[in-house]
Chain A
Amino acid sequence: MNSVRREVLKAGGGVTVMALAVSAGLLRPEEALAQAAWNKAAFETRSFADTVKALGGAAAVENPGVRFASPTPEIAENGALVPVTVTSSIPKTESIAILVEKNPNTLAANFVVPNGTEPFISTRVKMGQTSDIYALVKADGRYYYAKKEIKVTIGGCGG
């Protein structure tokens, strides 16, 4: 079943094709949803401003309610494994994205934070070189950010 599904995804990739695949019984609805939900355009952006647009915002403003917390480093010895923690004290925080400006593509991850979940996320990203990283928060439909430079000693995207 999976090989069929992959062919379908490769061939189409569009929502219409997905819908056809669901109606043809090739995909269960929840699987189609999970696949269709991935925002390809946002993950192909190459700048902060373009990522904000691809995620549906017009512009983002810097706001002290968005913060990088420990253990986000000043200097990362290993760019392949950079811990990043973001908190938001902005009411109605809906999502928290992590962006690395000088990576080949800017957007690293976008976390959706439902009601009842603390606006806090800790994860680890790759950084190809020293760069500004952004925490981009969507709250009540508006976009806010914090920015921080992390110096990278050994890049994490080479090889």
Chain B
Amino acid sequence: MGEPMRIRAQMAGDKVEVRVLMSHEMETGQRKDGGGNIVPAWFIQNIAVMHGGQTVLSAQWGPAVAKNPFMHFRFAGGRVGEKVSVTWTDNRGDKRTDEVAITAG
């Protein structure tokens, strides 16, 4: 189910600054291997970031998101010590969730 994500959730003023680095091939389905065969598409399709039972960001991705995807955003209403979780699901049905506590800015 993939390598752990690296997630940082840090207070920045009254907002929580979230940076996520995922480990995923994000294979486009356009590339050919050494034998000339198409390498099948393999990419994250759905992302959800949760805090306190609420979705603070969700996304749908195609294969044009870069390998080992990165995203950075900010949400309001979080406090130091509260948990932020990130879940991805890819086109093979694989899924991974990782969680961190919000740190002081």
Q: Mark B40-67, 1 if CB is under 8 A from A, else 0.
A: 0000011010000011111111111111
Chain B residue contacts of A35, Cβ below 8 A: 45-46, 89, 93
Q: Are A125 and B60 in contact (CB under 8 A)?
A: no
Residues of B within 8 A of A (CB): 15, 26, 28, 30-32, 45-46, 48, 54-67, 69-77, 89, 92-95
Other-chain contact of A6, B30, B72, B93 (Cβ < 8 Å): B93
20 A-B contact pairs sorted by A residue (CB < 8 Å): A2-B93, A9-B93, A31-B89, A38-B60, A104-B30, A111-B59, A112-B58, A113-B57, A114-B56, A114-B57, A116-B54, A117-B73, A117-B75, A118-B73, A121-B57, A121-B71, A121-B73, A123-B71, A125-B65, A159-B31
A-B pairs with the 4 shortest C-beta distances? A108-B64, A122-B72, A124-B66, A159-B31
Q: Are B74 and A120 in contact (CB under 8 A)?
A: yes
Chain B residue contacts of A34, Cβ below 8 A: 46, 48, 89
Q: A80-B66, A118-B75, A124-B69 are in contact. Are A111 and B28 (CB under 8 A)?
A: no
Which A residue's beta carbon lies closest to that of B39? A159
Q: Is A61 an interface residue when CB atoms closer than 8 A count as contact?
A: no
Interface of A (DSSP majority class): mixed
Which B residue's beta carbon lies closest to that of A83? B70
Q: Is A154 an interface residue when CB atoms closer than 8 A count as contact?
A: no
Other-chain contact of B57, A38, A117, A127 (Cβ < 8 Å): A117
Other-chain contact of A114, B54, B71, B72, B94 (Cβ < 8 Å): B54
CB distance from B14 to the nearest CB of A (A): 11
Chain B residue contacts of A116, Cβ below 8 A: 54, 56, 75-77
User: Complex formed: what's the CA distance from A159 to B69 in Å?
Assistant: 20
User: Complex formed: what's the CA distance from A124 to B65 in Å?
Assistant: 6
Residues of A within 8 A of B (CB): 2, 5-6, 9, 31, 34-35, 37-39, 42-43, 80-82, 85, 100, 103-105, 107-114, 116-118, 120-127, 156-159
Chain A residue contacts of B56, Cβ below 8 A: 114, 116-117
